[in-house]
Amino acid sequence: MQRLSDGDGNPEQFGTWLRKCREVCGLTRKQLAELADMSQLGLRDVELLRYSPIFAQRRRLVAALASVAPELAATAPTEKS
């Protein structure tokens, strides 16, 4: 994972979206982290806007949510939003 920056993408929007979707799905951080093959601490840091996931991690997180709620995954912020 990389530190937040003023660079491309909007990690704040992604982290906030991710937390809200996880809560709507009724998933714990542990459950979503396991589905996305990442650590609970890494997921926590993304949700708390401490780190921005790299592209591959974003894809795994969105795919993990899609496995539970496809309609939410379709609303994921894009890399440039």
Task: Give kind and range of the element (H or E) at residue 51.
Answer: strand 51-52
CATH of domain 10-71: 1.10.260.40
pLDDT computed for residue 73 by the predictor: 80
| pLDDT for res 3 | 34
SS (H, E, C) 17-78: HHHHHHHHHCCCHHHHHHHCCCCHHHHHHHHCCCEECCHHHHHHHHHHHHHHCHHHHCCCCC
Q: What is the pTM of this model?
A: 0.80
Question: What's the average pLDDT block by block, 10 residues per block, for the chain (81 residues)?
Answer: 39 87 95 97 95 92 94 79 40
